[in-house]
Amino acid sequence: MDIQFKDRGLRVHLDGAVAPVRDEGSEPVLGVSVPVDRDTLIDRWYVHRIRLE
Cα separation, 3 vs 27, whole angstroms = 12
Condensed to tens digits (0 to 9), the pLDDT of residues 10-46 reads 888 888 777 777 777 777 788 888 888 888 788 888 8
CB 11 within 8 A of CB 17: no
Phi/psi region, residue 49 (left: phi>0; alpha: psi -120 to 50; beta: rest), is beta
State pTM to two decimals. 0.69
